[in-house]
């Protein structure tokens, strides 16, 4: 059953997943039986009652009330089952337990920021305790996004003018993919993140130290992490392919030309300005769409990014 | 041909217009009474509905006309109400926690 | 039934003249005789040309989409281009192709003929609707020329109010095309009520007409809401009226209500005409009375009505209240019942029929298979908890291609082949048609079956980039789209060939019993040169065809030389009587 | 479809595909009613927006409606009712072959319609003067509610769309007068008068609802 299930569905990462999966399989199997019945009947009739001569006469069979009732009532029963089942599971999916651990989520084009009750925040990586309900309180800074974790079978739109919530309970430590599933423009498909479920020990430890940036990590490595975490990759490639923004490959040290005709060399100061105040100088040939990252990146992360860009020859 | 078309008597038309004007004055007048929410809305819409039916039945001839035209007209209201009430089912109940069902 | 003598009218048989020299195609010549025509048949043909063109464009855009998805990240176009292309693909396919497809092309041509009328009730409005369509299409093209749009075909706010792409001209185009759809629907309702020939009671009406009637009701009731939605969206961009824009205090979820209040009923504007075509195909190619006539006829109306109550199933995770989500889910399921009734009645019609597997019938059978898959997966995503997982993934993409492409487009192809001889007076190549239908069936399922798997494994839709593990299925799907392309090319080639040098078509090559076949192929300018009278129902295959060619004695003004049988009927059962 | 050409010769107003005048008249009327249905749902969208926002922010509607001039609204209601009366009488005139009356009544309908528009013009300019513009251009400070501009957006959308319908009505009625002066209408053929009147009454009905909903909130 487990392997059968995995052909269709991703691994079950949350406590709520099993119920959803069972309903999914129930509808598939029932649907398949219905489909098979219809298909076999069609094929059988087409063979058996093939036209043999052009002047064949067919019987006049106009209707049959019993049949009509049968094939209305059986589907009716099926949909009542499916409805109440889906309804019940939906109820659990959207009723967070009162003791859930609360984390705030801020979505912006095109990155996810997670703020923890202790005050710290992380970009692109959501750390949660396993085996404990977690409630996300979500808000968007611009357009509608949608927070989806297929492994957990959860999804909820994140909208600009009010909070939406979502809860889940990871059933084992591990990493799961987060997608943005409401179309939000150019970087929609790059608006990814990860949920990292930690076991109790790791979680305690992470709460203590995790929010502080790892001082020992080499700057360039931190920069690489931030590059995906802050979704720079939504617009900037590192292998030379053109995208929304200029590629980072070989960017450092080159002569930049701006929309207003001026030029400058891409040195550290210029890179810092581009990150913190992107609209100050717009590189020629590109739209002025880059969001400012002032405020959501730490000083060390900015340095890391600059270091990372410098290393991309 | 037009023998079987209904010619509305002049008096009926005039009385109808008179009734509409009276109702207009009435609907303004009741606002001076300051009926409490939500009944003021009910009264205002009630009067508007009566006025609209008068226009539809007398001026627009529905009273004498093929009944199918009335069905067509009413169906638009039915679907409008569907639109309103189902949307309200969302907008009025956004803050109601799910647990209560 | 105390018949007054005056209600009796002398009727006689009018044997059909095969391929007369004058028909609606050569009745008048020159481009003006086309663009200013009020003939419903010519208008239908022009619509057919237009929608085929747009289907081709939309299809080629789809081929590009699939090509781009060959590899994760960039294969050959940028993310922005991709977003523009899937938006254009959706908009073209929905507003310019599928909504007008069956009603405006096949419906315009055959609905009046099926009821024995000379034209629709308002021929000028009909022409106006074509022009409005063309005008709206021009706006859409203008918008493409000015950079296109990248909002998705749903134009969700606030993205659509913030993006820099040419949203206003595109929405204006859709707004305008909406009016063309309204006019078609309005015309059909009046035509069916007031223009039926004597003897054509509601119970004898071909099911295609019933389907068009249900569709027309939706068009008239739902499309105005699309108009006001798009108008408000335009105003939101122009003036910032703040009804939908959260930045100004508006509510983006309200926009979604407005949009889907139209767009869910619109999916039944797309599929119900297809149901009508399928009813005709199944009955004719089984040569058998349709099983459950009233069940099929009335279930169309039930679907039309229920279709207005379920729009919120597109918004289960949008942040609407949970109460409404539950209500919407429940109502959504109810639609499965009338739809199921149709499917089962069609299958029952096959029982003890005389089944001829000509190309149109092959399309009809493929429709049954594919639409059932599409419908049942619709039930799947209507289930609240499951839709949370599947919403906005490729499962949805697969669901709606199964109903729209596997359902409507296949029914449209079936109808196109079925009526081709009547429309153009030429037969197509049956051998190649069968091969093409097989190729299309294969290609279609190759393209979209894997997408169910992609979606249930979590692959989101409208994604330019995807994760490595999804690549295999994506590539399979892309290969499928090439098979589809080949299939369509075969169709295009043999149909063109048929136009140019196909064999002359007889008046009734399939032995159908509906009135549209009781006239030469192609039909004469006024459809019938006499006033037809209906003696039997549309599916009375036990009656010889000659029983269906009766008309009022003398109404041909002496055109017909050979005189068939005469009879007398009570024409009081005409349309006027039925209405009251 | 018996002998349609023959009938058509008798009455040039019957198009070739109709059997007789009755069928054509009934068809046109049903067509118009269906069109009115689309109009109702078109405006219906705005009414839905109105209802939703009113249910959310009742205080906003009470505050903002004070800026609307009830007297002018009430007068305009009367004006439209009168115009409905004149156009209904116009049908009667056509049915009774009173050409002179027909033209007079249609003309008075137009005069009343213009009166309506003039009053609307004064209402609008007064608001513009205060800085009450739709949407982002709203600058008025007198209403202490952050969504004041949304109320007026709804107000402007509804009344402007209604006003456009009035103008379209004026054009059609003008065309009727022209045709009437050419003796085109009689008891044998007055379909255009009938269906234009239906349209005009609907414009009236919509105003009948707009008036209490927008002006009479307390
Ligand atoms: C032709 C168009 C068409 C048709 C006919 C349908 C038919 C149906 N659709 Fe689909 N749908 C779309 C086009 C269509 N849809 C589109 C375009 C979208 C995506 C829009 C977007 O976001 O871009 C969509 C999305 C969509 C969603 C939203 C998913 C999401 O975004 O999360 C849902 C959810 O409920 C849904 C449900 C249904 C249902 C229940 C039906 C039913 O009508 C199906 C009924 C048919 C059957 C059930 C099969 C036959 C019946 C039997 C064999 C009897 C036995 C049946 C039972 C036991 C139930 N559809
Ligand atoms: C009628 C509706 C319709 C039809 C027919 C199709 C047909 C196809 N669609 Fe489309 N699709 C939509 C409606 C439709 N689509 C909508 C509404 C969306 C959502 C957009 C959005 O998200 O906003 C969508 C989205 C969509 C996506 C998802 C994009 C994304 O989310 O990232 C994909 C990806 O594979 C896709 C692929 C295809 C393919 C391969 C076909 C193929 O079946 C096409 C095959 C056709 C051809 C190859 C043309 C060949 C034609 C000729 C040669 C002319 C001869 C013709 C005749 C004689 C009749 N479509
Ligand atoms: Cu954010 Cu898609
Ligand atoms: Cu839907």
**Residue C259 CA to ligand 3 centre (angstroms):** 20
Work out the number of other CB atoms within 10 angstroms of the CB of residue D111: 14
**Percent above pLDDT 70 for chain A:** 96
The whole-number pLDDT of residue D5 equals 38
Task: Examine the pLDDT at C443 and tell me if it is beyond 80.
Answer: yes
Give the one of D34, D43, D146 whose C-beta lies nearest to C189's C-beta.
Answer: D34
Interchain pair D17, C118: CB under 8 A: yes
* C385–chain B Cβ distance below 8 A for any pair: no
Asked if A60 has any chain C CB less than 8 Å from its own CB, the reply is: yes
- Per-residue pLDDT at C2 exceeds 70: no
Nearest CA owner, ligand 2 atom 4: C405
Which of C199, A252, C225, B19 minimizes the C-alpha distance to D84?
Answer: B19
**Nearest-neighbour CA in chain B from D195: distance (Å):** 9
pLDDT band at A34 (very low <50, low <70, confident <90, very high): very high
Q: Does residue C408 carry a pLDDT above 60? A: yes
Q: Which tokens go with D121? A: 């013009």
CB contact under 8 A, C580 and B83: no
Check contact C-B (3+ Cβ pairs < 8 Å): yes
The pLDDT, as a whole number, for residue D1 is 36
Contact between A174 and A186 under an 8 Å Cβ cutoff? The reply is no
Q: What is the mean pLDDT of residues D196-210?
A: 95
Q: How far is the CA of C339 from the centre of ligand 1 (A)?
A: 11
- Between residues 120 and 149 of chain D, which touch chain C (CB distance below 8 Å)? 134-137, 146-147, 149
Q: How many CB atoms lie within 10 A of CB C12?
A: 21
A61 vs C291: CB contact, 8 Å cut-off? yes
Top mean pLDDT of A110-119, B54-63, C72-81, C387-396 is at C387-396
- Closest Cα in chain C, distance from residue A103 (Å): 18
Ligand 1 centroid, distance to C100 Cα (angstroms): 20
Q: SS3 breakdown of chain C: % helix, strand, coil, rounded to 5? A: 65, 5, 30
Q: What integer best gives the mean pLDDT of chain A? A: 87
Tens digits of residue pLDDT in C204-217 = 999 999 999 999 99
**Can you spell out the DSSP letters for C368-415?**
HHHHHHHHHHHHHHHSHHHHHHHTTBHHHHHHHHHHIIIIIIHHHHHH
pLDDT at A218: 79
| Chain C contact present for B1, CB below 8 A | no
Contact D160/C at CB under 8 A: no
Residue of higher predicted confidence among C398 and A250: C398
Note the Cα C536 to chain centre separation in Å: 27
Element (H, E) at C518: none
* Average pLDDT score over residue span C453-467: 94
Structure confidence at residue C563 (pLDDT): 66
B13·D85 Cβ contact <8 A: yes
Angle D133-D202-D19 (CA atoms, 0-180°, nearest 5)?
140
Mean pLDDT of A248-256: 86
Q: Higher confidence at residue A138 or residue C10?
A: A138
The least confident of A55-64, C253-262, C439-448 is A55-64
pLDDT value, residue C566? 75
- The answer to whether residues C70 and C134 touch, using CB atoms and an 8 Å cutoff, is no
Cα–Cα distance measured from residue A76 to residue A72, given in angstroms and rounded to the nearest whole number: 6
Cα of A28 vs centre of ligand 2, distance in Å, is 25
Percent of chain C with pLDDT over 70: 96
Mean pLDDT of D190-212: 94
Q: What is the pLDDT of residue C531?
A: 87
Q: Across the strands, what pairs with D39? A: none
DSSP class of residue C504 equals B
Atom of ligand 3 nearest to the CA of A189: 2
Q: What integer pLDDT is reported at residue D2 of this predicted model?
A: 38
pLDDT computed for residue A212 by the predictor: 61
- State the alpha helices, DSSP H only, in C404-550: 410-424, 430-456, 471-501
Q: Tell me whether strands A101-108 and A134-140 are parallel, antiparallel or unpaired.
A: parallel
Higher pLDDT, A229 or C377: C377
- In angstroms, what CA-CA distances link D53 with B87, C126, C387, C409, D211? 12, 39, 29, 41, 17
**Distance of residue C575 Cα from the nearest chain B Cα, in angstroms:** 13
Q: Which of B13, B47, B91 sits opposite D52 (nearest CB)?
A: B91
Top pLDDT among C255 and D9 is at C255
Number of H helices and E strands in chain B, helices first, is: 3, 0
For the stretch D67-112, pLDDT in tens is 888 899 999 999 999 999 999 999 999 999 888 999 999 999 999 9
When scoring A25, A50, A59, A86 by the number of chain C Cβ atoms within 10 A, the one with the most, hence best to mutate, is A86
Contact D198, B60 (CB under 8 A): yes
B 3-62 near C (Cβ less than 8 A): none
Q: Cis omega before residue C522 (within 30°)?
A: yes
State the DSSP H helix or E strand holding residue A64, giving kind and residue range, or none if neither: none
Q: Which of A31, A32, A150, A149 is nearest to C454 (CA)?
A: A150
Average pLDDT over residues B89-99: 78
Chains meeting A at 3+ CB pairs closer than 8 A? B, C
Q: State how far residue B89 is from chain D, nearest Cα, in angstroms.
A: 10
D109-168 confidence digits (pLDDT tens): 999 999 999 999 999 999 888 888 887 888 887 777 888 888 999 999 999 999 999 999
| B101: closest CA of chain D, how far (Å) | 23
pLDDT score of A215: 65
Q: State the Cα–Cα distance between residues A131 and A197, nearest whole angstrom.
A: 9
B10 touches chain D (CB under 8 A): yes
* pLDDT at position A58 over 90: no
What is the distance between the alpha carbons of residues A158 and A207, in angstroms, rounded to a whole number?
26
Least confident range from A241-255, B10-24, C199-213: namely: A241-255
Residues listed for chain A: 313
Pocket of ligand 3 (CB under 6 A): A 110, 145, 180, 182-184, 188, 191
Coil, strand or helix: which one is C566? strand
Predicted local distance difference test score (pLDDT) of residue B35: 79
Among the residue ranges A89-98, C52-61, C417-426, the one predicted with the least confidence is: A89-98
- Residues D18-58: tens digit of each pLDDT: 777 778 888 999 999 999 999 999 999 999 999 999 999 98
Query: Could you tell me the sign of the dihedral formed by the alpha carbons of C376, C380, C384, C389, in that order?
Result: negative
| C-alpha of residue C331 to centroid of ligand 4, in Å | 11
As a whole number of angstroms, the distance between CA C512 and CA A222 comes to 74
Nearest ligand atom owner, CA of A86: 1
What's the whole-number mean pLDDT along residues A242-262? Answer: 84
Q: Using DSSP, state whether C122 is helix, strand or coil.
A: coil
Ligand nearest to the CA of C316: 1
Q: What is the largest CA-CA distance in chain A?
A: 90
Q: Kindly report, residue by residue over C473-504, the tens digit of the pLDDT.
A: 999 999 999 999 999 999 999 999 999 999 99
Mutate to test the interface with C, among A17, A44, A48, A51 (most CBs of C within 10 A): A51
C156: which chain A residues are within 8 Å (Cβ-Cβ)? 144, 182-183
pLDDT at site C3: 36
More confident residue, C571 or C474: C474
Residue C97 has pLDDT above 50, yes or no: yes
**Which has the minimum average pLDDT: C188-197, C377-386, C569-578?**
C569-578
Mean pLDDT (whole number) for B40-64: 91
Ligand 1 binding pocket includes A244 (Cβ within 6 Å): no
For D6, the token pair is: 């023959």
Q: Is some CB atom of chain D closer than 8 A to the CB atom of B53?
A: no
Residue pairs between chains A and C whose CB atoms are closer than 8 Å: 271
**Residues of chain C numbered 292-351 and touching chain D (CB < 8 Å):** none
Cβ within 8 Å of residue C404, ≥6 positions away: C93, C98, C267, C270, C271, C374
ipTM of the complex: 0.91
- CA angle C72/C77/C78 to nearest 5° reads 85
Report which secondary-structure segment, H or E, holds A149.
strand A145-149
Dist CA A264 CA A272 (whole Å): 13
For C24-74, the DSSP string reads: TTTSS-SSHHHHT---HHHHHHHHHHHHHHHHHHHHHHHHHHHHHTTSSS-
Per-residue pLDDT, C21: 86
Q: Note the pLDDT of residue C304.
A: 95
**Between the CA of residue D22 and those of A117, C16, C55, D11, what are the distances in Å?**
77, 31, 42, 12
> Do B13 and D187 make contact, defined as CB atoms within 8 angstroms?
no
Pocket test for ligand 1, best of A26, A34, A68 (most atoms within 8 A of CB): A34
Q: Please give the angle made by the CA atoms of D105, D109 and D112, to the nearest 5 degrees.
A: 135
Q: What is the mean pLDDT of chain C?
A: 91
Burial of D107 (0-12, 13-18, 19+ CB in 10 A): middle
**Which percentage of chain A shows pLDDT scores above 90?**
41
From B97's Cα to the closest Cα of chain A, the distance in A is 8
What is the Å distance from ligand 2's center to C237 Cα? 29
- The CA-to-CA distance between both ends of chain C, in Å, stands at 17
pLDDT at site A120: 76
Residue C7: pLDDT band with limits 50, 70, 90: low
| pLDDT cut 90: percent of chain D above it | 60
C554: which DSSP letter?
T
CA distance readout (Å), C409 to A282, C61, C272:
47, 17, 12
Nearest to A87 among C78, C329, C365 (CB): C329
DSSP state at residue B4: G
Chain D residue closest in CA terms to C197: D1
Q: How confident is the model at residue D12, as a pLDDT?
A: 64
Give, using CA atoms, the residue closest to atom 13 of ligand 2: C90
């Amino acid at each position: 059953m487990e392997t059968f299930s995995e052909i269709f569905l991703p691994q079950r990462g949350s406590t709520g997943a099993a119920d959803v999966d069972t309903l999914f399989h129930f509808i598939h199997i029932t649907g398949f039986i219905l489909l098979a019945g219809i298909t076999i009947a069609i094929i059988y009739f087409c063979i058996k009652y093939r036209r043999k001569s052009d002047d064949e006469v067919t019987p006049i069979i106009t209707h049959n009330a019993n049949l009509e009732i049968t094939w209305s009532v059986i589907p009716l029963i099926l949909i009542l089952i499916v409805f109440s089942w889906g309804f019940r599971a939906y109820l659990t999916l959207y009723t967070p337990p009162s003791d859930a651990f609360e984390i705030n989520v801020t979505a912006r084009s095109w990155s996810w920021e997670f703020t923890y009750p202790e005050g710290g925040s992380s970009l692109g990586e959501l750390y949660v305790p396993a085996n404990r309900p977690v409630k996300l309180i979500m808000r968007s800074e611009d357009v509608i996004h949608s927070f989806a974790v297929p492994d957990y079978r959860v999804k909820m739109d994140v909208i600009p003018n009010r909070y939406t919530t979502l809860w889940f309970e990871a059933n084992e430590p591990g990493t799961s993919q987060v997608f943005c599933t409401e179309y939000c423009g150019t970087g929609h498909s790059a608006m990814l993140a990860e949920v990292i479920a930690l076991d109790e020990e790791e979680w305690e430890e992470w709460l203590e130290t995790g929010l502080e940036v790892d001082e020992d990590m080499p700057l360039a490595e931190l920069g690489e992490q931030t590059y995906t975490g802050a979704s720079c990759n939504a617009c900037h490639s590192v292998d030379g392919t053109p995208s929304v923004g200029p590629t980072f490959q070989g960017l450092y040290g080159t002569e930049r030309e701006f929309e207003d005709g001026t030029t400058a060399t891409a040195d550290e100061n210029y890179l810092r300005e581009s990150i913190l105040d992107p609209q100050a100088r717009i590189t020629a040939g590109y739209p002025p769409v880059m969001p400012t990252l002032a405020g959501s990146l730490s000083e060390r992360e900015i340095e890391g990014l600059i270091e990372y860009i410098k290393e991309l020859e | 041909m037009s023998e079987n078309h209904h010619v509305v008597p002049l008096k009926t038309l005039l009385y109808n217009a008179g009734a509409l004007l009276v109702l207009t004055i009435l609907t303004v007048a009741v606002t001076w009474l300051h009926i409490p929410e939500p009944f003021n809305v009910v009264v205002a819409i009630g009067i508007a509905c009566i006025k609209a039916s008068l226009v539809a039945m007398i001026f627009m001839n529905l009273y004498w006309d093929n009944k199918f035209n009335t069905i067509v007209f009413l169906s638009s209201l039915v679907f409008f109400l569907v639109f309103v009430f189902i949307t309200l089912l969302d907008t009025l109940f956004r803050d109601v926690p799910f647990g209560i069902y | 039934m105390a018949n007054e003598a005056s209600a009796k009218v002398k009727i006689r048989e009018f044997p059909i003249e095969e391929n007369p020299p004058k028909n609606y195609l050569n009745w008048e010549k020159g481009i003006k005789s086309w663009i200013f025509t009020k003939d419903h048949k010519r208008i239908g043909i022009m619509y057919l040309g237009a929608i085929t063109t747009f289907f081709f464009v939309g299809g080629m855009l789809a081929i590009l989409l699939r090509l781009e998805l060959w590899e994760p990240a960039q294969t050959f176009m940028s993310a922005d281009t991709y977003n523009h292309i899937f938006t254009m693909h959706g908009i073209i396919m929905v507003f310019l192709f599928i909504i007008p497809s069956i009603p405006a092309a096949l419906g315009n041509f055959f609905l009046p003929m099926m009821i024995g009328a000379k034209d629709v009730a308002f021929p000028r409005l009909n022409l106006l609707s074509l022009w409005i369509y063309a005008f709206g299409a021009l706006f859409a093209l203008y918008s493409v020329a000015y950079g296109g749009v990248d909002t998705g075909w749903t134009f969700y706010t606030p993205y659509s109010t913030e993006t820099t792409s040419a949203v206003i001209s595109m929405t204006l185009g859709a707004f305008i095309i909406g009016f063309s759809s309204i006019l078609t629907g309005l015309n059909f309702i009046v035509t069916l009520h007031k223009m039926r020939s004597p003897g054509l009671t509601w119970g004898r009406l071909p099911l295609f007409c019933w389907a068009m009637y249900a569709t027309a009701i939706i068009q008239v009731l739902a499309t105005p809401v699309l108009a006001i939605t798009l108008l408000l969206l335009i105003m939101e961009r122009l003036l910032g009226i703040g009804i939908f824009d959260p930045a100004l205090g508006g509510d983006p979820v309200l926009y979604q209500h407005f949009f889907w209040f139209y767009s869910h009923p619109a999916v039944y504007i797309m599929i119900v005409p297809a149901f009508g075509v399928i009813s005709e195909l199944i009955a004719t190619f089984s040569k058998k009375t349709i099983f459950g006539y009233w069940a099929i006829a009335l279930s169309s109306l039930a679907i039309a009505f229920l279709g207005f109550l379920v729009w919120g199933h597109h918004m289960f995770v949008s942040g609407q209240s949970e109460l409404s989500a539950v209500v919407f889910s429940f109502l959504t399921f109810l639609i499965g019942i009338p739809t199921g009734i149709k499917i089962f009645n069609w299958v029952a019609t096959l029982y003890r029929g005389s089944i001829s597997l000509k190309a149109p019938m092959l399309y009809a059978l493929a429709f049954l298979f594919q639409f059932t898959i599409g419908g049942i997966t619709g039930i799947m995503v209507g289930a609240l908890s499951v839709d949370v997982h599947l919403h906005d993934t490729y499962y949805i993409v697969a669901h709606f291609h199964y109903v729209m492409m596997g359902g409507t487009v296949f029914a449209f192809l079936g109808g196109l082949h079925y009526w081709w001889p009547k429309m153009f007076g030429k037969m197509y190549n049956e051998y190649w048609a069968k091969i093409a239908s097989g190729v299309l069936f294969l290609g279609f399922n190759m393209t979209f079956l894997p997408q169910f798997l992609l979606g249930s494994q979590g692959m989101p839709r409208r994604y330019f980039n995807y994760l490595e593990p999804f690549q295999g299925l994506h590539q399979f799907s892309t290969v499928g789209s090439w098979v589809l392309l080949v299939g369509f090319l075969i169709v295009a080639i043999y149909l063109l060939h048929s136009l140019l040098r196909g064999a002359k078509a007889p008046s009734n090559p399939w032995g159908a019993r509906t009135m549209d076949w009781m006239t030469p192929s192609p039909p004469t300018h006024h459809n019938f040169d006499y006033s037809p009278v209906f003696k039997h129902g549309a599916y009375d295959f036990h009656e010889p065809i000659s029983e269906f060619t009766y008309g009022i004695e003398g109404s041909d003004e002496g055109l017909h030389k050979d005189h068939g049988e005469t009879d007398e009927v009570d024409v009081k059962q005409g349309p006027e009587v039925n209405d009251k | 479809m018996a002998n349609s050409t023959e009938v058509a010769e008798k009455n040039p107003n019957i198009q070739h595909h109709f059997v007789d005048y009755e069928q054509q008249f009934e068809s046109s009327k049903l067509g118009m009613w269906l069109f009115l249905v689309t109009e109702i749902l078109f405006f219906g969208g705005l009414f839905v927006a109105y209802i939703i926002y009113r249910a959310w922010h009742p205080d906003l509607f009470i505050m903002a409606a004070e800026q609307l001039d009830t007297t002018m609204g009430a007068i305009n209601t009367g004006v439209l009712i009168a115009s409905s009366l004149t156009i209904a009488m116009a049908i009667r005139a056509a049915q009774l072959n009173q050409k002179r009356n027909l033209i007079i009544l249609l003309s008075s309908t137009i005069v009343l319609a213009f009166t309506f528009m003039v009053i609307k013009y004064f209402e609008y300019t007064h608001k513009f003067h205060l800085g009450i513009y739709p949407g982002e251009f709203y600058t008025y400070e007198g209403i202490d509610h952050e969504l004041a501009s949304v109320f007026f957006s709804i107000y402007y959308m509804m009344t402007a769309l209604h006003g456009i319908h009035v103008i379209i009505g004026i054009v059609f009625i003008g065309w009727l007068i022209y045709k009437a002066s050419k003796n085109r209408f009689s008891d044998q053929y007055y379909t255009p008068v009938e269906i234009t009147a239906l349209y005009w009454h609907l414009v009236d009905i919509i105003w009948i609802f707009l008036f209490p909903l927008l002006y009479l909130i307390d």
